[in-house]
Structure 1
Amino acid sequence: MNLFADLRALVVAELTAMTAEGALPQGLDFANVAVEPPRDPAHGDMATNAAMVLAKPAGLAPRAIAEALAARLGADPRIKEASVAGPGFLNLRLSDLVWQDVILSALTEGAGFGRSTLGAGRRVNVEFVSANPTGPMHVGHVRGAVVGDALSNLLAFAGYDVTREYYINDGGAQVDVLARSAYERYREANGLSPEIREGLYPGDYLIPVGEALKARFGDSLLNQPEEAWLAQIREIATELMMAEIRSDLALLGVQMDVYSSEKALYGTGKIEAAIQTLRDHDLIYEGVLEPPKGKTPEDWEPRVQTLFRSTAHGDDVDRPVMKSDGSWTYFAPDIAYHFDKVQRGFDELIDIFGADHGGYVKRMKAAVAALSNARVPLDIKLIQLVKLYKNGEPFKMSKRAGTFVTLRDVVNEAGADVTRFIMLTRKNDVALDFDFAKVLEQSKDNPVFYVQYANARINSVLRKAREAGIDVSDATLAKADLSILTHPAEIDMAQAIAEFPREVEIAAKGNEPHRIAFYLYELASELHGLWNKGNDDVSLRFVQDDKATTQAKIALARATGVVISNGLAILGVKPVEEMR
């Protein structure tokens, strides 16, 4: 059930009837007609912009349209009052029966409440994390992993066919550095002193890699020239690092559907095919770029390069795809990789990148637009930095990784559920402070505790009722006399529940999973507020002396619990039944 969609359908049906009767001209487009909460709750439960958006194309005064529409809507039993304000705003007050039906829908639909057909089965590829396989994942990867996974959950909940994908950056010079670093740990495993010179990876995480290499090769690679061991150590070390990355992701509750390799693009003709496709569209040419801003003639050497005409698709400058020496730029395999995703038949692509990829957005969007003939949209979400604190002070943990805090460190300290929720309490493009003391404290200021505490309170009510011999199964609660629920505080709770399907669609349309975390906090606030009112007003307590009244009130609590569970599932967080 999506109450907002249902009422919009009612408005459109009445507008269609007005058109058939001649009150409105033929051919009006109702696409921009919306039904949503009014800015000021005092104006009503919902409002529609129908008269305002149709007035000009209809050649009528907006208030005239609004008054005619209000008269028609007022005849529907769901509408308690339809009133016109100002030049043509139409505000609606709904009957209590509507809100009671919302409670019933949550109980009967259960895990399906809030699900949407918005995606209509469209295939979406969400690429996220894609960390270089040169070491364990760090705290920055945590946020990207959570955002990507929660977004994937959200889109699936909204009816999309979602593929989670990890792009292994194993084709660049960094994997050679990994191999050389691992070789030093191999030497160490054979009793020699490792030479961790500048430019190599110093972290202790490569010690097990060195030991694995010793177990496989013994001392046979010692004193061998680099060309004798580089390729095989590079492959083995990459595999071991990817195994650790997969383990780290599992610790956070993230499971990828597809792992794609950059290295697999080389020598297969895939890069050449992607560039040729652009060439066929007259988007590849030989040219010389202007010097970057800030460069002087003394430090800028103009040279002929093979360029992608990315400015034809919204980029600021054209981009090189081949260097003057004939080798590919780093951009070329990325073009080929995205071309592969387009060829796999995805309807939409989403990339979750680190904040340092800001300059990469326009060129990648231009490439996908060109390669798909503008059929496949690409949305790129940049993940801002996470700063770690404890009691307000910068917090440092193990130095196993050398210079950064690992994903495993964070999850071991805070727990996967807390980590995931907190990472979604800010929009992805806003920096986030993660204070280990605050994220674990039991207070209203800690959103994950506040939401989980609401769920625990609901479960405590259910346990108390069962102990009193009252049947509070969902099937029984769905048959409760919900007409008992008329108090404004109870109606407010039902209204908060009704917002969930709408929030799911808004969040899915914008690829913004953090909206679900925000919504759950507001829903929890309503539940705690209702609970606290019960301390002063006995009639608002969930458990009453009368069985029928108790079941009706617990139906409201249980419906709230359904929404909390569904929302937490989108975030990838397990609901708790009691706080300890």
Structure 2
Amino acid sequence: MNFFADIRALVIDSLTTLSAEGALPEGLETGNVTVEPPRDPAHGDMATNAAMVLAKPAGKKPRDIAEALASHLRSDPRIASAEVAGPGFLNLRLSPDSWRDLLRAMLSEAALYGRSTLGQGRRVNVEFVSANPTGPMHVGHTRGAVFGDALASLLDFTGHEVTREYYINDGGAQVDVLARSVYLRYLEAHGQTVAFEEGTYPGDYLIPVGAALAEEVGEQWIDQPEAVWLEEIRDYATDAMMDLIRADLAALGVEMDVFYSEKSLYSTGQIEAAIATLKDKGLIYEGVLDPPKGKTPEDWEPREQTLFKSTDYGDDVDRPIMKSDGGWTYFAPDIAYHHDKVSRGFDELIDIFGADHGGYVKRMKAAVAALSGGRVPLDIKLMQLVKLKRGDQDLKMSKRAGTFVTLRDVVEMVGADVTRFVMLTRKNDAPLDFVVDKVLEQSKDNPVWYVQYAHARIHSVLRKAAEAGLPTSETPADLSAIADPAEFALVAKLAEWPRLVEIAAEAHEPHRIAFYLYDLASEFHALWNKGNAEPHLRFVQEGDPATTAAKLALLRGVAIVISNGLGILGVTPVEKM
């Protein structure tokens, strides 16, 4: 049930009636008509812009349309009042029974409340994390992992068919560096003293990998040249690192559907096939690029290159796909990988990259648009940096990793639920300070605690009511005891949930869920505190089971929405604290 959509449908029906009566022209386009919460709650429960957006095409003054529309809307039993404001905005107040009916319907839907068919089964590929398989995941990867997993859950909640995918960057030089680092740990396991040169990976996490390799192959690679062992150790080390990364993701509650190897694109014809697809479209050519910005012809050597005509699809410059030695650039396998995604029949692609990939956005969007003939949209979300702090001090080092704080370090410090929620308390393109002391506080300033506390408080009341023999799982037929403006305000907040979910899904912004849950918890705690001073607002009314049953129904409605929202975020709703 989406109450805002229901009232919007009422507005559209009323406009249609006005057209039939001759008060408005026939055939007006109503796609931009909205019904949403007013910016100032004092103005009403909902507001519509119908008169403002239809005035010009209708050739009428906005206030005249608003007055005529208000007259029609007042005849509906759900509308308590319809008042014209300013140049033609229309503010609506809903009847008490409409809020009670909404609560009743919400309780009936329970875990389904807020789910929608917005996606209509569209297949969406969400690629996220995709960390180089050279070590454990760090705190920056954590943010991308949480965001991607929550976004995938949000899209699933709104009727999309979602695939969570991890792209294993195992085709580049960094995997050779990993192999050399593991080789040093292998020698160390055989009692040799080794030195980690700059550019190798000195973290303790490679000690057990080197020891396991020594156990498996014995001494056969000691004193052997790199050409003998590099490829085999590279594969062995990559597998070990991917096991480590899978375990890190599992500690965070993230499970991927697909792990896709970059290496599988090489020597299989897939890169060549993707480039051939672009060439058949006339988008591959031999040419010379202009000097990059900041370069002059004197310090820039122009040379002919094999280029993708990405400027045909909105990029700033055309992009090289082949190096002067005949090898592929980094861009070529990325084109092939996205060609494979398009070939797998996805209707939409979402890539979640680190902040340092900003320069890659336009070229990748151009490649996907060209490969799919514009059929498949690609949305790229950039994850800004995370600063992990304890008090005023930045935490930058980990013995386990050697040079950075790992995902596992964070989860062990504060837990997976806290980690996930806090990572969604800022929009993805805004930097995030993760202050360990703050996220463990039990205060309103700690959003995850504040939301969890609301859920636990509700279940505490429900447990006590059950112990007193009161029914806590049934929706009473009579909800008339819900009558105070503060109670209706809380129901109105619950009514926003389905609308908010669809807005967040369309924008690919799961942080909106975390923000909403905090606001909902604030409304709930405010009503709880108000009940301390005004006994008639308390959720358990001694000697009045009918009133108590109605108020417990309101509590259950809040708990349902908090639980559904935390479920999208991958956070466990606690019942005791």
TM-score tier after normalising by the smaller chain length: over 0.9
Contact 2:134 2:175 in 1 (8 A): yes
- The amino acid that maps onto 2:64 is A
2:101 corresponds to 1:104: no
TM-score, length of structure 1 as denominator length:
0.98
Aligned residues: 576
Contact 1:77 1:95 in 2 (8 A): yes
Question: In the alignment, which residue of structure 1 is the partner of 2:435?
Answer: 435
Matches of 1:297 and 1:405, distance apart in 2 = 44
Cα shift readout 1:401-434 (whole Å, capped 9, x = no counterpart)? 1110000000000100000000000000000001
Contact 2:123 2:347 in 1 (8 A): yes
Matches of 1:206 and 1:237, distance apart in 2 = 9
2:284 corresponds to 1:287: no
Cα shift readout 1:280-315 (whole Å, capped 9, x = no counterpart)? 111111111112122244542221110111111111
Question: In the alignment, which residue of structure 1 is the partner of 2:519?
Answer: 522
Bigger drift between 110-119 and 18-27 goes to 18-27
Question: In the alignment, which residue of structure 2 is the partner of 1:50?
Answer: 50
Cα shift readout 1:72-116 (whole Å, capped 9, x = no counterpart)? 111100001112122221111110112112211221111111111
Shift of 1:51: 1.1
Question: In the alignment, which residue of structure 1 is the partner of 2:482?
Answer: 485
Matches of 1:38 and 1:435, distance apart in 2 = 34
Contact 2:395 2:405 in 1 (8 A): no
Question: In the alignment, which residue of structure 2 is the partner of 1:92?
Answer: 92
Question: In the alignment, which residue of structure 2 is the partner of 1:348?
Answer: 348
Cα shift readout 1:449-501 (whole Å, capped 9, x = no counterpart)? 0000101110111011111110111xx2x124212101011011101111111
Matches of 1:62 and 1:236, distance apart in 2 = 70
What's the C-alpha RMSD, in Å, of the aligned pairs? 1.1
Matches of 1:283 and 1:22, distance apart in 2 = 54
Question: In the alignment, which residue of structure 2 is the partner of 1:113?
Answer: 113
- The amino acid that maps onto 2:569 is L
Matches of 2:27 and 2:10, distance apart in 1 = 19
Q: What's the secondary structure of 1:285's corresponding residue? A: strand
Cα shift readout 1:358-389 (whole Å, capped 9, x = no counterpart)? 11111101111111111111111100111111
Bigger drift between 57-66 and 112-121 goes to 57-66
Shift of 1:33: 0.8
Bigger drift between 70-79 and 22-31 goes to 22-31
Question: In the alignment, which residue of structure 2 is the partner of 1:563?
Answer: 561
Shift of 1:22: 2.6
Question: In the alignment, which residue of structure 2 is the partner of 1:174?
Answer: 174
Q: What's the secondary structure of 1:322's corresponding residue? A: coil
Shift of 1:396: 4.5
Contact 1:66 1:90 in 2 (8 A): yes
Shift of 1:17: 2.1
Contact 1:480 1:551 in 2 (8 A): no
Shift of 1:398: 2.8
User: Any gaps of 5 or more consecutive residues in structure 2?
Assistant: none
Where do residues 432-471 of structure 1 align in structure 2 (5 Å cutoff)? 432-471=432-471
2:536 corresponds to 1:534: no
Where do residues 227-242 of structure 1 align in structure 2 (5 Å cutoff)? 227-242=227-242
- The amino acid that maps onto 1:547 is P
Where do residues 505-520 of structure 1 align in structure 2 (5 Å cutoff)? 505-520=502-517
Contact 2:397 2:403 in 1 (8 A): no
Cα shift readout 1:425-445 (whole Å, capped 9, x = no counterpart)? 000000000111110010010
Contact 1:350 1:380 in 2 (8 A): yes
Cα shift readout 1:128-172 (whole Å, capped 9, x = no counterpart)? 000000111000000000000000011111111111000000011
Matches of 1:555 and 1:329, distance apart in 2 = 61
Contact 1:480 1:548 in 2 (8 A): no
Question: In the alignment, which residue of structure 1 is the partner of 2:212?
Answer: 212
Matches of 2:566 and 2:32, distance apart in 1 = 31
Q: What's the secondary structure of 1:253's corresponding residue? A: coil
Over the matched positions of the two proteins, sequence identity in percent amounts to 72
Question: In the alignment, which residue of structure 1 is the partner of 2:189?
Answer: 189
Matches of 1:9 and 1:267, distance apart in 2 = 56
Shift of 1:524: 0.3
Contact 1:102 1:497 in 2 (8 A): no
- The amino acid that maps onto 2:461 is V
2:167 corresponds to 1:162: no
Bigger drift between 544-553 and 51-60 goes to 51-60
Matches of 1:223 and 1:55, distance apart in 2 = 84
Question: In the alignment, which residue of structure 2 is the partner of 1:24?
Answer: 24
- The amino acid that maps onto 2:331 is F
Contact 2:382 2:428 in 1 (8 A): yes
Contact 1:189 1:210 in 2 (8 A): yes
Q: What's the secondary structure of 1:92's corresponding residue? A: strand
Shift of 1:191: 1.1
- The amino acid that maps onto 1:39 is R
User: Any gaps of 5 or more consecutive residues in structure 1?
Assistant: none
Task: Give the 4+ runs in structure 1 shifted more than 4 A.
Answer: none
Matches of 1:526 and 1:198, distance apart in 2 = 54
Matches of 1:294 and 1:527, distance apart in 2 = 56
Question: In the alignment, which residue of structure 2 is the partner of 1:149?
Answer: 149
Question: In the alignment, which residue of structure 1 is the partner of 2:375?
Answer: 375
Say which of 541, 544, 555 aligns to 2:541.
544
Cα shift readout 1:257-286 (whole Å, capped 9, x = no counterpart)? 011110000111111111111111111111
- The amino acid that maps onto 1:501 is P
Contact 1:168 1:259 in 2 (8 A): yes
Shift of 1:335: 0.6
2:491 corresponds to 1:494: yes
Cα shift readout 1:223-262 (whole Å, capped 9, x = no counterpart)? 1111111111110100000000000000000000011110
Bigger drift between 217-226 and 129-138 goes to 217-226
Contact 2:476 2:549 in 1 (8 A): no
TM-score, length of structure 2 as denominator length:
0.98
Question: In the alignment, which residue of structure 2 is the partner of 1:425?
Answer: 425
Where do residues 392-403 of structure 1 align in structure 2 (5 Å cutoff)? 392-396=392-396, 398-403=398-403
Cα shift readout 1:180-213 (whole Å, capped 9, x = no counterpart)? 1111111111111223122211111111111111
- The amino acid that maps onto 1:327 is G
- The amino acid that maps onto 2:322 is M
- The amino acid that maps onto 2:281 is H
Q: What's the secondary structure of 1:445's corresponding residue? A: coil
Matches of 1:430 and 1:448, distance apart in 2 = 19
Matches of 1:39 and 1:253, distance apart in 2 = 37
Matches of 1:299 and 1:143, distance apart in 2 = 40
Matches of 2:194 and 2:368, distance apart in 1 = 45
2:77 corresponds to 1:77: yes
Matches of 1:134 and 1:308, distance apart in 2 = 30
Matches of 2:497 and 2:392, distance apart in 1 = 34
Shift of 1:19: 2.2
Question: In the alignment, which residue of structure 2 is the partner of 1:575?
Answer: 573
Contact 1:444 1:450 in 2 (8 A): yes
- The amino acid that maps onto 2:516 is Y
- The amino acid that maps onto 1:284 is I
Shift of 1:120: 0.9
Matches of 1:115 and 1:84, distance apart in 2 = 33
Where do residues 25-40 of structure 1 align in structure 2 (5 Å cutoff)? 25-40=25-40
Contact 1:397 1:409 in 2 (8 A): no
Cα shift readout 1:46-69 (whole Å, capped 9, x = no counterpart)? 111111111111122222221111
Q: What's the secondary structure of 1:404's corresponding residue? A: coil
Contact 1:389 1:433 in 2 (8 A): yes
Bigger drift between 187-196 and 429-438 goes to 187-196
